Amino acid sequence: MRADKGPLIPRNREIHPDPYDPGYKTSVARSPNLPLLAMESGQSEETGPTFGHSKFGQYDNNLILNWNRGAAPAVGERIMMHGRVVDENNRAVPNTLVEIWQANAGGRYRHKKDGYLAPLDPNFGGCGRTLTDENGYYQFLTIRPGAYPWPNRGNDWRPMHIHVSVFGHSFGQRLITQMYFEGDPLINLCPIAATVKDRASLDRLVAPLDMAHSRPLDFLAYKFDIVLRGRRQTMFENRIEGM
Amino acid sequence: MVQKLETLIESASQTAGPYVHIGLMPSYTGNGQIYDHELGHSPIEDGAKGEIIEITGEVFDGTGWALRDALIESWQPDAAGNFPGNEGADPAVSGWCRFAADADSGEFTLRTVKPGKVALRGGGFSAPHISLWIVARGINIGLQTRIYFEDEDNSGDPLLSRIEQAPRVQTLIAKKVADGKYRYNIRLQGEGETVFLDI
């Protein structure tokens, strides 16, 4: 049994995107019309898989080298993406799975459905994964993705972004989000970014340039901290649940 | 000024987008060589105790069109209702799986062990179920739902009992189509809309 017990703190859906948002056209037919059914979490939401280090390879969190196992580096602006995964109670989430995927420096994805005319980079796959350490820290080495156009309104372009999937310690904490880059003027034009109506929530998805963690003559750094749902805390050890 | 709360605010969700498979199921896009071990291929290993079942279905949008780019994760206990990681749980059941709608047909398949009923915090049990989390282009925050089974006793389940409109309960119940085979369709919107959860 895990040390962290107790029900999950209910989601505040006001800080999340609206499921139905006509500015992001695909959401119109893919958003439920009826309200969600709310319940207190149980075992199904409070437990989740664990991931052992043995399944991970040497280059899994290095997107500059992982596509061809170190034979040649990807082209683009070399960056380190790093940060901490914590919960709403500001407790570290150690040994949890963080996965990322992204386009290459020209904005092209290595996916059969992406027909954008910017070329693939033969040395770039575009996905990475890692486990957070005992203090909740993770890091990736990658190249900064390019902006790319997408068929939404007449002339929509996604800002530079990296998709981020985080597991947490329970199935009910599951989260997928996107990291944007400080200063990108496309953020304010993007209908997907704009699905988040609370500006402070959107700002928390924008990673600042982090010179203190950049390596001179090698890579720039961007810091991206992630907050997952927390649990109602147990106040007394002899109680099964929180107060 | 009142005192300051020290709790943080959850990071906002964003859509997984159309290329979610690059990151979570690289082999689906033909990029399988990037990892030696891809995660979440199957929720069970050989030797899992219990009945092995296969659930197929489609995820329909509000126009009745099946999504070709949906990615689903499932989470469940073993045949005795014990979740992986708990004492006594079946070591051949990891409980977690990732699967995708087929890019041509939109059909998905989940092969797993039929879960047992699960003990509730306040006593009692919930009926056997598999938890699902669905992401895709156009879905801004992952949708949670559950698969129940028509050949189980669902009468006392607290979640199903909470659904006010009795006909909507049927949207969560997989139909048995043959021995060990079930059909479970998900309708995101409109007529027959699946019950989605906030838990």
d(C-alpha B53, C-alpha A231), whole Å? 33
Task: Compute the mean pLDDT over every residue in chain B, rounded to the nearest whole number.
Answer: 97
User: pLDDT of A120-155, one tens digit each?
Assistant: 999 999 999 999 999 999 999 999 999 999 999 999
Q: Do B139 and A19 touch (CB under 8 A)?
A: yes
Interface ipTM: 0.96
Q: Is B21 on the interface with A (CB under 8 A)?
A: yes
CA distances from A209 to A100, A188, A223, B82, B181 (A): 19, 18, 7, 45, 52
Q: In degrees, to the nearest 5, what angle opens at C-alpha A170 toward C-alphas B124 and B153? A: 30
In angstroms, the CA A165 to CA A195 distance is 18
Q: Give the tens place of pLDDT for each residue, B129-180.
A: 999 999 999 999 999 999 999 999 999 999 999 999 999 999 999 999 999 9
Say if B16 is an interface residue toward chain A (CB within 8 Å): yes
The answer to whether residue A242 scores a pLDDT higher than 90 is: no
Mind listing the pLDDT tens digit for each residue in B75-96? 999 999 999 999 999 999 999 9
**Cβ contact B8–A90 (<8 Å):** yes
How close A30 gets to chain B, by Cα (Å)? 5
Does residue B157 belong to any structural domain of this protein? yes
B15 in any annotated domain: no
Q: Report the CATH number at residue B176.
A: 2.60.130.10
Over residues A2-6, the mean pLDDT reads 61
Those of residues 145-204 in A touching chain B at CB distance below 8 A are 163, 165, 171-172, 174-178, 192-193, 195-196, 198, 200-202, 204
- Give CA–CA dist A9/B199, Å, rounded: 9
Give per-residue pLDDT as tens, B13-22. 999 999 999 9
Distance, in Å, from the CA atom of B22 to the CA atom of B69, rounded to the nearest integer, reads 12
Query: Which pLDDT belongs to residue B46?
Result: 96
- As a whole number of angstroms, the distance between CA A103 and CA A114 comes to 10
- Residue B152 falls inside a structural domain: yes
Is B175 within a domain? yes
Identity at B89, one-letter amino acid code: A
Instruction: Please indicate, yes or no, if residue B156 is contained in any of the structural domains.
Output: yes
Do you know the residue count of chain A? 243
Question: How many angstroms separate the Cα of A133 from the Cα of each of A94, B45, B78?
Answer: 5, 28, 29
Tokens of B79: 């045949």
Q: Is the pLDDT of residue A96 over 50?
A: yes
Q: How confident is the model at residue A237 (pLDDT cuts 50, 70, 90)?
A: very low
| pLDDT on residue A53 | 85
Say what the pTM is. Answer: 0.96
Q: Is residue B180 part of a domain?
A: yes
Give a yes or no: residue B24 inside a domain: no
Q: Is A68 helix (H, G, I), strand (E, B) or coil?
A: coil
**Exposed/middle/buried for residue B24 (C-beta within 10 Å: 0-12, 13-18, 19+):** buried
Domain count, chain B: 1
Give me the domain span that covers residue B92.
41-187
pLDDT in tens, A10-61: 999 999 999 999 999 999 999 999 999 999 999 999 999 999 888 899 999 9
As a whole number of angstroms, the distance between CA B30 and CA B28 comes to 6
> Mutate which of B140, B145, B160 to test chain A, going by most A C-beta atoms within 10 A?
B140
Rounded CA separation B42/B154 (Å): 26
Question: Does residue B28 lie within any of the structural domains?
Answer: no
Q: Is B159 helix (H, G, I), strand (E, B) or coil?
A: helix
Whether B25 and chain A come into contact, CB under 8 Å, resolves to no
pLDDT band at B122 (very low <50, low <70, confident <90, very high): confident
Strands B52-60 and B186-187: parallel
For residue B76, the model assigns a pLDDT of: 98
Cα-based distances in Å from B155 to A12, B77, B113, B119, B166: 31, 20, 22, 15, 12
Phi, psi of A92 (to 5 degrees): -60, 145
Q: Searching chain B, which residue's CA lies closest to the CA of residue A63?
A: B34
Number of H helices, E strands in chain B: 3, 12
Catalytic (active-site) positions of A: 109, 148, 158, 161, 163
